[in-house]
Structure 1
């Protein structure tokens, strides 16, 4: 028997609740919205029956949701800064905290040459390109990841420039000089693996999650190479782990005469580290 939106969501939420404690009705609702490109208003009005094909797709999606598969890996995309970005098993699913990083960059500077290091889906680079007047480079070590980012740029009509390579190496090779460097690199320490959810460990690429030296290695490598790519009076922005601010600040100020700022995210956790280069 075919059902409309709301009854389908309530039944699905009951199934999800048996596996997950965290707002099962919200997950069931967003799955329906994403699969069928409908709004919360459509669900509230509840004036259309799901077809047999739609009901089957929703049933398969709910089964995956019950198995801790992230919503974005079920639907194949994630909303970020008002746009849909394709995600694959090769890419980290963009997080709301990273939207805050983009917002902070745009609140500070809106033009010049920018680079997103470790671009993943391209969500940071493409958002900066489309929201402001930057010439944007982005780098990633993975060719599979860059293919996803290129596809997102094409779909969203972005002119981001892609380079494959390790962190800043492609920019150094080309002699690119930056007004803005932004990066959300892998920053989780191996010691934190036991604290992470099955959903993340089973479905996000570990290359995009973990880093040596208590999660600090890739930051330190970028920080060491900043003189090779930064213009005078430029800006550096990092998304960081909530407990990494003090260690990174100490590492930076021992090397350079800069003032480091730490900004908290919506959950009141340290999340953005930034500074003006050679102020």
Structure 2
């Protein structure tokens, strides 16, 4: 009878494009995705499912060793306990963004009336869908400039039974006739400067959309200025803006909001002690 541990060890050994610790985590992810085996199942050498359908392991390993993200290889990733489909058209959701979502859920958990929310640059829909699922009083919109991203976001919302309205919208060109107001404006916009690309890994540079990653070095806060300007017009008096940020620009991003009349601005650090998000209110 085939068991989990030998397969795990074979996969881990043959994932050669990454350090051993990352290869081990990828091997665990593969067994979880394809066979539903958790780490403890693997380490206790449980039998592989008898009626399993195995992937072509050679092709899986080949893709991983080209540094294609494992989330693209298996087609999904977990975000706040929910499984989202991903593709090269969207950024892969990351743990730092989970922290941003949890902050919003904490701030609005006690609200009993409707909480209108807009997620600017929704990508896979991970922020919008998670808020719609876990804040039942929320009324959520998701905006993006990419039709392909919106198609995937709608698909994720359908799969996860989340009521979200998605629309093509460019925060740099919001129509003057726009009239809706929001209690929450949230965005994880492009914030990596072009000059930082040289230090990035291939699995990001080669496989994730530059449109969602990069800004020009001469105006790295262009999207934060646009989001803050939008909030001046369309954020309710008791509402809040939440943005994920480049660790290099924590104080500069704070200044963007301060210059536009926000009075309560907090910069939050991630688990590595780096500036990672900003919450701003009037």
Whether TM-score is above 0.5 comes out as yes
Would you say the 8 A contact 1:19–1:66 is kept in 2?
yes
Q: Which residue of 2 aligns with 1:89?
A: 88
Unaligned runs of 5+ in 2: none
Superposed structure 1 runs of 4+ greater than 3 Å apart:
49-56, 168-174
Q: Is this contact kept in 2: 1:28–1:62, CA < 8 A? A: no
Match of 2:236 in 1: 231
* Aligned positions of 1:48-197 closer than 5 A: 48-49=47-48, 54-110=53-109, 111=111, 112-132=115-135, 133-167=137-171, 173-197=177-201
Contact 1:164 1:170 in 2 (8 A): no
Contact 2:150-2:166 within 8 A present in 1 as well? yes
Instruction: Assess, with a 3 A threshold, how the Cα gap between structure 1 residues 8 and 208 changes in structure 2: closer, same or farther.
Output: same
CA distances 1:192-229 after superposition (whole Å, capped 9, x unpaired): 00010011001111111101245311111221222221
In structure 1, stretches of 5+ residues that fail to align are: none
Over 3 Å counting, the alpha-carbon distance change for 1:56 and 1:123 in structure 2 is closer
How far 1:254 sits from its partner (Å)?
Answer: 2.2
| Distance in 2 of aligned mates of 1:22 and 1:224 | 46
Deviation at 1:51, TM superposition (A): 7.5
Give the alignment's Cα RMSD to 1 decimal.
Answer: 2.1
What is the CA distance between 1:241 and its match in structure 2?
Answer: 1.1
Q: TM-score, normalised by structure 2?
A: 0.90
Larger displacement relative to structure 2 (114-123 or 22-31): 22-31
Distance 1:172 1:157, change over 3 A: farther
Query: Contact conserved, 1:117 with 1:138, CA < 8 A, in 2?
Result: yes
Contact 2:224 2:256 (C-alpha < 8 Å) held by counterparts: no
Partner of 1:13: 12
Rounded Cα–Cα distance in structure 1 between residues aligned with 2:143 and 2:52: 40
Map 1:206-221 to 2 at 5 A. Answer: 206-212=210-216, 213=218, 215-221=220-226
TM-score by length of 1: 0.91
Question: How many positions carry a matched residue from both structures?
Answer: 275
Q: How many Å separate the matches in 2 of 1:81 and 1:223?
A: 26
Matched, 1:263 2:268: yes
